[in-house]
Structure 1
Amino acid sequence: MLIPGGVLMVVVVLIPLAMAVYMSLLDLNQYTIRQWLQAPFIALSNYVEAITDSPLLSSFGISISFALISTLVTIPIGVAAALATQNAYRGRALVRSVFLVPYVIPSFVTATIWRTIMQPGGIWTGLLSVVGIHPGLWLNGPNAFWTLVIVEIWAAWPFIYLLALSGLQTIEQDVFEAAALDGVSWWEQLRHVVFPNLRGPVALASVVAVLAHINNFTLPFVLFGMPAPDNVQTLPFLTYIQSFQSFRFGLSAATAICSLVLLAIPLFIYLRVARLDRTEAEVAGA
C-alpha cells in the first residue's frame, strides 16, 4: 500500500533533488544548457560563489525577517479570529467564510490587486494622505519591504486562523461550562484552558507559516515585477534571477540547495522540540 506513495515521492522529490545537486556541480549557463550532461564539472565552485560572491546571505536575512515578522503578526490575528468564531451565533457561517477570503484568493490575484492599490496616487497613498501620512513610494525604495510584509500578512493570517480553530474544536465544551460554574473569569479560561490546548496547533502553524513565507515566490514577483528592489529579493527570487536573468543555472542550483539546507533548520528545531515534549509527556504519564 505504500508503493504508490513511495513512487510519487521518488518522482516528485528525490529525482528533481538529485538533478539539482548534480547541476550545482556543473558550469551550466546559456551556452552549455543544450548539452548539460557534458557541461564542465567544477565541483563546489558554485557553492563557494553562492556563499561569498552572490547576495545569498542578504537574501536569507530578508527572507527570515520577512517570514518572522509576518508570522508574529498573523498569530494573534488568527487566534483572535478563531476565538471570535468558536461559539455558535447568528451569522457565524458568514463570518467564517469572509475570514477565509484572503486565503483562498490565488497569490497572483492578491499581488495584482495590491499592486494596483499601492501605486503612486492609488487608494493606499490616498488613505494615508487623508490622515497626514506621506511616506513616499510603496513599490520601490525602503518601503518595498514593508509592502511585502503587509500584503503577506493580509493573505496569510487565515491559515493561522484555521489551525487555531481546529485546536479550539478539540476542547470539550464541558470544560468551559465547569469553569463558568466555578466563577472563572474569561481571561483565566484563556490562560489555563484555551492557550495550553492551542500551543501544539499554533506551534505547528507557525513553523509551516515561516516555511511558506520564505518559499513564497509568486507574491513578490507579481507585486514588484522585474527588476525588483533589492530589499525584497527573497531566496526564491534570487534563485529566479540567477537562472532566468543571469542564466547561471549551476549557480542557481547551488543557491537552491543552500536555501534548502537553511530552511531545514527551523523544521529540525520544531521536530526536536516536539520530540522532547512527547518524551516528557510519556515520562509524566508513566
Structure 2
Amino acid sequence: MASSVTEPRPSDSSPAAGAAAEPGETTPPGQRRKGLSEKNRPLWLLIPGGLLMTLVILVPLAMGIWMSLIDLDQYTLRQWVNAEFIGIQNYIEAALSSELLRSIWLSVSFALISTVVTVPLGVAAAVVTQNAYRGRAVVRSIFLIPYVLPSFVVASVWRTMLQPDGIVNVTLTNMGMGGGLWLNGPNAYWTLVWVEIWAAWPFIYLLALSGLQAVDHEVHEASALDGALWWNKLRYVIFPYLKGPVSLAFLLATLNHINNFTLPYVLFGAPAPSDVNVLPILVYVTSFQSFRFGLSAAMAVVSLILIAIPLFIYLRAVRLDVHEGGKK
C-alpha cells in the first residue's frame, strides 16, 4: 500500500509570506516579492491630478510670468515667441508710470473694509438662526438671497437703482435727504463697498453657521445649568468654536474681494472711475483696451504675490497651531 506523501508545512520560524528577502537570499519559487513599484503604487494615483494641475495652473502661470518679461503688445502678439526680452522693465513701468500702486491701495482697503463689516454681520445672522423657531427656514432662505444671485445680476440691479433718476435717489428725495451721484465721483468708492457688503455677508453667515453646528449640545446644557448669561455664553462657549471657521472665512472673503472683477466691471464699466479703479479692472483695461499685454501680465503677477501673502500667513498660523496642539 503506497503511503501518502504530504508536503512539509512551513514552520513558525519561516519568513512570513510576502516579506522582502534579505540581500543575498533567493526568493523561493512561487513566492511574490514586493518591489518598489508595488510599494509606491499610491503615488501613481496622483498622475491624473498632477497632469491636470500642470495644464490648468502651472503652464498658464509660467506663460504669464514669461509674458511679463517680454515686450508684448498688439504689434508683437502674432509672433509673441519672438518678442523682445526686456526683463523687469514692465514691473518698473507698472510701479512708476501706471496706476498700479493706487489700484493696490484701493483693492486692499476696499477688501478689508468689506470683510471687517461682513464678518460680524455673518456671525450675528448665524447666531440668530442657530436655534429652532417658527419661521427659521424662511429667515435662512431670505439671508441667502444675496449669495445665490450671480454677481452680474447683483451689479446690474444696483446699477439701475443707483442711477440719478433711480429708486434710491427718488426715495432719498422724498425723505428730504436729497440724492447724489453714486456711480461716479467720491461716492463711487463707498457705493462699491456697500454693494460688496450686501452681496458677500451671506458667505460669512454660512461658514459661521457650520461652525455653530459643531458645538456639542451638552455644552449648551452645561452653560444653562451654570446660569451663564447670554453674553458670557457667546464669549466663552460659542465664539471659541467659531475661531477656525471665522478665520478661514475672513481670509477667503478678503481674497475674494480683492479678486472681484465682475461686480466693479458691471457696476461702473471699464474704464472705471478713478476712485474705483481696483486692480482687476486696471489689469483688464491695460490688457484688452490698451493692448499692453506684457505690462498687464506684470500687474497680474504682482496681484498674485499680493494674494499669496495673506494665504501664506494663514497656512503658517494653522500649521503652528496644529503643531502646538500636538505637543499638548
TM over 0.5: yes
The answer to whether 1:221 aligns with 2:226 is no
- Cα distance in 1 between the residues matched to 2:178 and 2:307: 37
Matched residue, 2:3: none
Instruction: Tell me how far 1:91 sits from its aligned partner.
Output: 2.0
Instruction: Tell me how far 1:183 sits from its aligned partner.
Output: 0.6
Q: Radius of gyration: which is bigger?
A: 2
- Cα distance in 2 between the residues matched to 1:187 and 1:87: 16
Aligned pair count reads 284
Matched residue, 1:267: 311
Instruction: Tell me how far 1:68 sits from its aligned partner.
Output: 0.3
Instruction: Tell me how far 1:18 sits from its aligned partner.
Output: 0.5
Amino acid at match of 1:254: A
Matched residue, 2:23: none
Instruction: Tell me how far 1:130 sits from its aligned partner.
Output: 3.6
The superposition leaves residues 43-73 of structure 1 with CA deviations (integer Å, 9 ceiling, x where unpaired) of 1110111111111110000000000000000
* Percent identity (aligned): 65
Instruction: Tell me how far 1:161 sits from its aligned partner.
Output: 0.3
Instruction: Tell me how far 1:89 sits from its aligned partner.
Output: 1.6
Q: Which moved more, 1:193-202 or 1:85-94?
A: 85-94
Equivalent of 2:130 in 79, 86, 92:
86
Alignment root-mean-square deviation, CA: 1.2
| Matched residue SS, 2:62 | helix
Q: Which has the higher contact order (CA 8 A, sep 6+)?
A: 1
- Cα distance in 2 between the residues matched to 1:128 and 1:277: 50
What TM-score results when the alignment is normalised by the length of structure 1? 0.96
Instruction: Tell me how far 1:74 sits from its aligned partner.
Output: 0.3
Instruction: Tell me how far 1:277 sits from its aligned partner.
Output: 2.2
Matched residue, 2:167: 123
The answer for unaligned runs of 5 or more in structure 1 is none
The answer to whether 1:203 aligns with 2:247 is yes
Equivalent of 2:176 in 125, 132, 140:
132
Amino acid at match of 1:228: A
The answer for unaligned runs of 5 or more in structure 2 is 1-44
Matched residue, 2:236: 192
The answer to whether 1:111 aligns with 2:184 is no
Equivalent of 2:104 in 36, 60, 76:
60
Equivalent of 1:144 in 183, 188, 206:
188
The superposition leaves residues 96-143 of structure 1 with CA deviations (integer Å, 9 ceiling, x where unpaired) of 121111111111111000000100021112233344333620000000
Runs of 4+ in 1 over 4 A off after TM superposition: none
Amino acid at match of 2:122: G
Amino acid at match of 2:277: Q
- Cα distance in 2 between the residues matched to 1:274 and 1:131: 50
Amino acid at match of 1:5: G
Q: Are the aligned partners of 2:107 and 2:279 in contact in 1 as well (CA < 8 Å)?
A: yes
Amino acid at match of 2:280: P
Matched residue, 1:254: 298
- Cα distance in 1 between the residues matched to 2:238 and 2:129: 14
Change (3 A) 1:84 1:42: same
Q: Which moved more, 1:173-182 or 1:69-78?
A: 173-182
